[in-house]
Amino acid sequence: MPREQPAIERQRQALGTRIRDLRDHALLTQEDFAEMTGINRRTLQRIERGGDPRYSQLVRIAEALGVPLANLVEG
């Protein structure tokens, strides 16, 4: 499998940071956020660290944070 381009990795890192910052701003723990989104806490940790989320996970994250999906992914 070919290695991803550094730009894509940076974008995923930025997305994870945005999600974590928004979650922190909402004063939500990862446990609470996992419960709200229906996404496993370990999966959320991976996403916040720059993992590659599924579209359905991004939709649930955006809804739980009260932000449009476009704003979440565009930064």
Return the CATH number at 67. 1.10.260.40
CA dist 11 and 50 (Å) reads 8
Whether 3 has a pLDDT exceeding 80, the answer reads no
pLDDT confidence tier of residue 2, bands split at 50, 70 and 90: low
- 19 part of a folded domain: yes
Which residue segment(s) compose the domain that 22 sits in?
6-74
CA dist 48 and 32 (Å) reads 15
CA dist 17 and 32 (Å) reads 18
pLDDT, residue 1, reads: 53
| Number of structural domains the chain divides into | 1
pLDDT, residue 75, reads: 62
- 65 part of a folded domain: yes
pLDDT tens, position by position, 6-61? 889 999 999 999 999 999 999 999 999 999 999 999 999 999 999 999 999 999 99
- 57 part of a folded domain: yes
Contact predicate 43/20, CB 8 Å = no
- Classified as helix, coil or strand, 24 is helix
- 1 part of a folded domain: no
